[in-house]
Every structure is written in C-alpha cells, then in structure tokens.
Amino acid sequence: MKNNYKLLDVKNLRTAFNVEGKDVTVVNDISFNLSPGEIVGLVGESGCGKSVTALSLMGLVPDPPGKILGGEIFLEGKDLLKFSESDMEKVRGKEIGMIFQEPMTSLNPVLTIGKQITEILELHQDMSKEEAINEAIDLLKLVGLTDPELRINDYPHKLSGGQRQRIMIAIALSCKPKILIADEPTTALDVTIQAQILELIQKLSNELGTSVILITHNLGILARYAHKINVMYAGHLIESGTTDEIFYNPKHPYTAGLLNSVPRLDLDPNIELPTIKGEVPNLAEFNEGCIFKTRCPNPTNNCKDGKSEMGLIEVEPGHLVDKCCVNCK
C-alpha cells in the first residue's frame, strides 16, 4: 500500500493574513507529501496554522484577508496554485474531500441530509436525481448510519454530533476523492464517539485507498492511526517523520514537549502532565532565529542571539527536523 509515489507534494507553502495593513505569515514555508493510501498526521497547538494549511490545499483561504504568498501544491504532478477558480471547483469534493471540526454547524440546517449528499454526486459524478438518491443511501450505509432510507429525508438538527460527522464523512468521500482532509474531526465529540469516527475514517481509507491528512492537536490519536506525522509550531513545520520515529526518536524539543503532555495509560493519571511553558511568539513581530526560542528549555547562546537558522534537514531516512535542532534536545 505504501509506496514512494507522491500523490500530493506541498512545497514551501506560505500563507499570510493581512492584519491591520500588515501581512502576517501564519503558514511559513511548509513542505510535506502524501502517498496513496497513507494517513498523515498534522499536529500542533491551537493557532499554529493547521486549518490554514488545509484551507490552502483546498483553495479556500478567505481572501481578503488571507493570501497564499508562495510555494507549490502538486496534486498528481499538477500545481493547484496555478489552477483557476473553476478548475479548483473540480478539485474540491472530487479529488480532495474535507471534513471539519464542528459537526453541529457543518451541515446546512435548512436542507435535508439527502439533498446535501446528492448535490455533490450530481455535480461531480453526472448522476441523475434517482441514481444520486440510491448512491446517497448506500453511502449512509457505508458510514454506518441506521435507517438510511429514512435519514435522507431528515434535517440535520434531528441527528447527534457523531451522526452528523458520519454524514460529513459520507459527503466528503461520496465522489471517491484521492485525498481526505480531516480537520480535527473528533475534537467536538464524546470520547467514545471519537474512537468510532476515527476507526471509520481508517477503515474507509483502507477500503477505498483514500489518503488522509489527519489534523489534530492530540498526538495520542496519531500514534494509533497515522503512518507519518508532521509537527507544526507557530506556522512552521519543525519536525516530520514516521509515527515510530516521532514517538521513539523525537529530535525537536517541541515534539518532545508535546509527547510528554500526551496522557498515557502506563502512568499514574493523578500526576499532572507536564506542559510546555512560555508563550508562542507574536508572528507579526517575530523576525529572526528559531521560532521556538521563547519556549525552548535549553537554548544555546546562538539561539538566544537569534542566529540559529530554520529549515528542515533529513537526519535519518524520512525523518526531517529543523536544522538548528539536529543536535539539541
């Protein structure tokens, strides 16, 4: 299943928001890739730019105030950033599907479930109304909803958060996209439901061969479901590698900090988990050196002077980390 063909290859992506007349780069020089069938995690604290990265891939960064400043996003060799809006409309939903954090508000309250699924089938799959309805029923079965024939006539408010997220998955996968972006798909759900939804995503990824970008701020989730992990901090990608490498051989002090703050079964649950101290720098003002220097536990003098240089280098095959941190820990 895993091979080296790069289905998606993101290179030096930079996205900024114009805040009070000044461009603030919130996704800064991000590069990563995705092979067919792979589940790749994107992890980092709130506000680090995960959603903006995802929206950049979809061509949905709100403009204004947002703008993609540079980089390339190759999907099967074609740079999406060069696509026209109408070409992007054929990518969205068809080549890349997306589900969001907030299932309660992600479905349109005034349209039936059926309509919200069939409209995408009619759009991309050239289906007639009837074919689309039958397909929608099959999709609802696929994502494990009971009584799909009745459900398609329901409005979203009748369903629970977990059920709505299943419908979002049905919509996102309806046209068999090559890639599914799941932006914190379970953050808003109960713990037991969380596991069910993630199992479902994993199962469908296996069955349909869909690659998944799984966005979360919980490394624990990725340990279980992701093949590879990209760690983001304040708009930068600071470490990237296989799940095993990241968990057993983290290089960057931020990754190590995140790992320490993951709840673990083998530790006493009453002991408070260590958190990463300090504050994320204000991106509008930050300009030199390592982005993590304000929170790093052991910065060198070079780091403090802002002389350490950012940029990923490969330390082991497939394991990349910020240049400056190859030897620090």
Partner 1 sequence: MYKYIFRRISLSIPTLIGVSILIFFFMRILPGDVVDAMVTDETGALVFTDAQVESIEESLGLNRPLHIQYLGWMKDVVAGDLGYSFWTKISVGEHVRRRAPMTLEIAVLSLIISWIIGLPVGILAAINRNSLRDYISRGIVILFLAIPSFYAALGFLIFFVLVFTWRPPVEVIFFWQNPIQSLYVALPAAVAIGTGMAAVVARMARSSILEVIREDYVRTAKSKGLTKRTIINRHVLKNALIPVVTISGLQFGNLLSGVIAVEAALSIPGLGVLLAQGLADRDWMIIQNLVLIFAFLFILINLLVDISYSLIDPRIRYD
Ligand X SMILES: Nc1ncnc2c1ncn2[C@@H]1O[C@H](COP(=O)(O)OP(=O)(O)OP(=O)(O)O)[C@@H](O)[C@H]1O
Q: Does 32 bind ligand X (CB under 6 A)?
A: no
DSSP string, 292-320: TTTT-SS--HHHHTT-PPP-EEEEETTEE
119 binds partner 1 (CB under 8 A): yes
Segment 240 to 269, residues that bind ligand SF4, using CB under 6 A: 253
Dihedral of alpha carbons 96, 10, 254, 266, sign: positive
Q: Which of residues 64-93 bind partner 1 (CB under 8 A)?
A: 86, 88-93
Kindly give the interhelix angle for 113-124 and 161-173, rounded to the nearest 10 degrees: 10
Which of 120/276 has CB closer to partner 1?
Answer: 120
**Among positions 303, 312, 315, 321, the unique one binding ligand SF4 when judged by CB under 6 A:** 303
Applying CB under 8 A, what is the total number of residues that bind partner 1? 30
Q: Which is nearer to partner 1, 122 or 131 (CB)?
A: 122
Q: Which does 299 bind (CB under 5 to 8 A by kind): Mg ion, ligand SF4, partner 1, none?
A: ligand SF4
Dihedral of CA atoms 226, 228, 231, 235 in degrees, nearest 10, equals -100
Residue 1, CA distances (Å) to 31, 32, 181, 198, 209 in order:
22, 19, 19, 19, 8
Pick 51 or 308: Cβ nearer partner 1:
51
From CA 130, how far away is CA 302, in angstroms rounded? 66
Nearer to Mg ion, 136 or 221 (CB): 221
Backbone angles phi, psi at 112, to 5 degrees: -70, 160
217 interface partner picked from Mg ion, ligand X, ligand SF4, none, CB below 5 to 8 A per type: ligand X
CB 21 to ligand X: min, Å: 13
Q: Decide: is 46 part of the binding site for ligand X (CB under 6 A).
A: yes
Distance CA 233, CA 239 (A): 9
Q: How far apart are CA 43 and CA 75, in angstroms?
A: 22
**Contacts with ligand X, residue ranges (CB under 6 A):** 17, 19, 26, 44, 46-52, 62, 65-66, 217
